[in-house]
Chains A and B, each alone.
Chain A
Amino acid sequence: MSPPPRILLAKPGLDGHDRGLKVVAMALRDAGAEVIYLGLRVPVADIVAAAAAEDAAVVGISVLSGAHLPLAGQLLTAMRAAGLDTPVAVGGTIPSRDADALRQLGVAGVFPVGTPLPGVVEGVLQLAGPETAGR
């Protein structure tokens, strides 16, 4: 049996709305994932360092302040600079026009407000690898 996928979750930027991300963290745990939750106001460099140190299968960030585009851009740039190709998932108050822009930046999974919780869990586990989805 393969070990549970390790999912790194963090809130970058200054936004404190952590209800959604903590609910996702609990749902991922209940689905069998190992969740590493870094908390609030985490600098992008710290997320990248933790992703490398923890050997995360997915890096998930949540932004409800509207700053998802610049923050996701900073994260992807820093991850590439560190040689990491871990898939990145972004959730938050994301209008549909920005969802496409995030994918163009290289975000692997976009989960705007209104995405049903089971859909978020399934989507993140799929990013972690086909063998972990549907556990």
Chain B
Amino acid sequence: MARHDPGAPPAASPPVTTDSGIPVAPVYTAQDVAGGPDALAGRLGRPGEPPFTRGPYESMYRGQLWTMRQFAGYGSPEETNARFHFLLGRGQTALSVAFDLPTQLGYDSDHPMARAEVGRVGVAIDTADDMVDLFAGLPLDQVSVNFTINATAPIILATYLAAAERQGARPEQLTGTLQNDILKEFLARKAYVFPPGPSMRLAADVVEFATGALPRFNPISVTGYHAREAGCDAVTELGLTMASAVAYCEELTGRGLAFDTFAPRLSFHFATTLDLFEEVAKLRAARRLWHRIATQRFGAVNPAAARLRFFSGNSGTTLTAQQPLNNVIRSTVQCLGAVLGGAQSIHVMGYDEAFQIPSEEAVTLSLRTQQIIALETGVTRTADPLAGSFFVEHLTDEMEARAADVLARITASGGAVRAIEQGLPQRWITEAAYRAELEVATGQRAKVGVNTYTDGGGDPQVEAFELDPGIAERQIARTRRRTGARDGAACARTLSRLRQDADEGHNVMPALVECARAGATVGEMAGVFRQAFGEFQEPSPW
């Protein structure tokens, strides 16, 4: 591989841009901040005040540090429970559950499509009893929990509510976030089950139900993270996130719900990747753009309804299988970007995550990365420390304008649902992924250890993560024991009511909670929806 020669003259120099293609000048001055200082002050406001460019809260990290929320889950509920206790013991401040693919897609562990996947990318959950075991010794009236679950989000929420009830926790005490963003599954993450129309209805059922019953819980996390990971740039990520948020809000206001009542509990999820200043600008622009949409498009009066709060995950696709310790450095920069961008909670990838579920050593290092940035660097001392930087303010303005253009293109094509049905944003993502890969292959985009400075690589030496090969059989046996012990007739009645509510257009959440309490399995509940709604087939990607 060619090595970079610092003495060589630059080849024909391409224009210098951010990763999203925003031109970057050699230096920025006060002239680059549109409208001068007074206009800028109006675009910024103070932290905790509209338009929230500088942060959702007045005191930011002085008042409260971000939540350190490492995404975790594998194998059985007991194994994941042990990982949760391990993480909390090392100073993590909240939980985030990764579910296995059968759970995400509404198959019980004994389904023929499920067998090879049980417990692999997350924990296997078949019943509310599994949820009870998952949170053993973890008081749900105190511990905030994030659930990365989408197509089966209403079902998993029901099993969680049944488990919390068994612990004696009251619904109004529960804190956490349900991802429940089905649009980005169609866009990028691909764990969809039902067609877009019924899927939007289920997502809205959850938000509507939670708006009354779960006042401290975020019933949706509108995310651009997965579109970004699937290949698009930061501008498109922000534009698509806003397009999805608009679609959910239109679905909810279309039901007659007042925007000001549900919007304060909406949360967001962005990637933070390696182009540090562009990422910080994106996160600041996200708050300002959402404030504009909430107030101008939806007429928000309640300031909290226009205040964007977000979770940041650093990017797995920036990590490399080659020289895996380099990933620690990449993750550190990305975590810093999330902090400078004002994140409310953060996940840092394991350095071994390019090829396996992170080992205990790797997740500890991820958590330590967050703790060192929080406690040793001083970046938490003042809110929005990069405000007023000529460059960062210029980039923030550019990012807002360009993301608004992406949103306008989606709106012009009929809104997020229609655009996704046509495959439009999916094609943007796929084409961008191919371009990025060609740039790495040709050396146009530097990846240390991959296309430059490749010596000293060799086979990655990391602590191997081993999944128990008997996990599927154990999980199947446990679910059969439980379904054998339940009152079958009572359970069947709850499933019939669920079908009726699904068919008649009632909110499905109350019936789902009854099903979960009666011991219905995730596969049985999802099976009702499969029968009622059918399944989605993806259009051709080309």
A contact set with B: CB distance below 8 Å = 13-19, 22-23, 26-27, 37, 39-41, 43, 65-67, 70-71, 74, 93-97, 112-114, 116-118
Give every chain A residue within 8 A of B356 (Cβ-Cβ). 66, 93, 95
Q: Please choose the segment from B82-90, B110-118, B360-368, B481-489 that sits at the chain A interface, where 4 or more of its residues have CB less than 8 A away.
A: B110-118
Q: Are B102 and A114 in contact (CB under 8 A)?
A: no
* Cβ 8 A contact of A93, one of B185, B229, B230, B355: B355
Interface string of B411-442 (1 = CB under 8 A from A): 00000000000000000001001100110110
Of all chain B residues, the one with the shortest Cβ separation from A93 is: B355
Inter-subunit contact A15/B101 (CB<8 Å): yes
Q: Are B191 and A16 in contact (CB under 8 A)?
A: yes
A and B contact pairs by CB, cutoff 8 A, 7 listed: A22-B430, A26-B434, A65-B117, A66-B356, A66-B467, A114-B322, A117-B437
- Secondary structure type dominating chain B contacts: loop
- Chain B residues contacting A66 (CB-CB under 8 Å) are 120-121, 356-357, 467
In the A-B complex, the 5 residue pairs with the closest CB atoms: A16-B190, A114-B321, A14-B101, A70-B116, A67-B116
B538 located at the interface, meaning its Cβ lies under 8 Å from any Cβ of chain A in the complex? yes
Known A-B contacts A14-B101, A114-B450; A27 and B434 likewise in contact (beta carbons under 8 Å) = yes
Checking B113, B231, B321, B433 against A112 with a beta-carbon cut-off of 8 angstroms, the contacting residue is B321
Distance A71 CA – B438 CA, assembled complex (angstroms): 29
Report yes or no: A113 in contact with B355, Cβ–Cβ below 8 A. Answer: yes
A19 touching B116 in the complex, CB below 8 Å, given contacts A66-B356, A95-B356, A112-B321: no
Contact (Cβ within 8 A) A113 B354:
yes
Query: Which of A67, A74, A95 contacts B464, CB < 8 Å?
Result: A95
Q: Are B450 and A40 in contact (CB under 8 A)?
A: no
Contact B541 A117 (CB under 8 A): no
A74 to B117, CA, bound (A): 13
Instruction: Name the residue in B114, B321, B464 with the highest tally of chain A Cβ atoms < 10 Å from its Cβ.
Output: B321
Q: How many residues of B contact A (CB 8 A)?
A: 43
Q: How far is B2's CA from A54's CA once the two chains are assembled, in angstroms?
A: 41
In the complex, the chain A residue whose C-beta lies closest to that of B112 is A43
In the bound assembly, the distance between CA atoms of A14 and B190 in angstroms comes to 10
Q: Would A94 and B433 be within 8 Å (CB), given that A14-B101, A114-B450 are in contact? A: no
Residue among A13, A27, A66, A112 with max Cβ neighbours from chain B (10 Å): A66
Is A23 a contact of B434 with CB atoms below 8 Å? yes
Check B121 against A65 for contact (C-beta < 8 Å). yes
| Pair B538/A39 contact, Cβ less than 8 Å | yes
Tell me, yes or no, whether B244 is within 8 Å of chain A by CB. no
Q: Please, how many angstroms separate the alpha-carbon atoms of A26 and B467 in the complex?
A: 34
Asked if B445 is an interface residue, CB under 8 A from chain A, the answer is no
**Please, which residues of chain A bring their CB within 8 A of the CB of B104?**
14
Contact indicator A96/B434 (Cβ below 8 Å): no
Pick the most buried of B114, B121, B357: most chain A CB atoms within 10 A of its CB. Answer: B121
Nearest residue, chain B, Cβ from A67? B116
Q: Which residues of the partner chain A approach B229 to less than 8 Å between Cβ atoms?
A: 19
Question: What is the minimal beta-carbon distance from B350 to any residue of chain A, in angstroms?
Answer: 13
The DSSP consensus for interface residues of chain A is loop
Q: A95-B464, A96-B459 are in contact. Are A113 and B434 (CB under 8 A)?
A: no
- Residue in B117, B355, B433 whose beta carbon sits within 8 Å of that of A67 in the complex: B117
Instruction: Provide the residues of chain B in CB contact with A15, threshold 8 Å.
Output: 101, 117, 121
Which chain B residues (154-200) contact chain A, with CB distance < 8 Å? 185, 189-191
With beta carbons under 8 angstroms apart, the residue of B116, B437, B460, B464 that contacts A23 is B437
Residues of B within 8 A of A74 (CB): 116
Most chain B C-beta atoms within 10 Å of own C-beta, residue among A14, A18, A40, A116: A14
Q: Are B437 and A41 in contact (CB under 8 A)?
A: no
Q: Judging by beta carbons under 8 Å apart, are B230 and A65 in contact?
A: no
Asked if residues A114 and B190 are in contact (CB atoms below 8 Å), the reply is no
Kindly provide the distance from the CB of B282 to the nearest chain A CB, expressed in whole angstroms: 21
Within 8 A of A (CB), among B87-124: 101-102, 104-105, 107, 113-117, 120-121
Neighbouring B residues of A97 by C-beta, 8 Å: 464
Instruction: For the complex, give the distance between the alpha carbons of A96 and B116 in Å.
Output: 20
The reply to whether A116 and B434 contact each other, CB–CB distance below 8 Å, is no
Which residue of A has the minimal Cβ distance to B323? A114
Cβ-defined contact, A19 with B101, below 8 A: no
B316-344 interface (Cβ within 8 A of A): 317, 320-322
Assess whether A22 is in contact with B105, with CB atoms less than 8 Å apart: no
A67, A94, A116: the one contacting B120 at CB < 8 Å is A67
- In addition to A22-B434, A95-B464, A114-B322, 4 A-B residue pairs with Cβ atoms within 8 Å of each other are A13-B113, A66-B121, A71-B116, A94-B355
Which residue on A lies nearest to B122, using beta carbons?
Answer: A65
Q: How far is the CB of B190 from chain A (nearest CB, A)?
A: 3
Q: Given A22-B433, A66-B356, A96-B459 in contact, is the A117-B117 Cβ separation under 8 Å?
A: no
Complex Cα spacing A16 to B190, Å: 5
Using CB atoms, name the residue of chain A closest to B104: A14
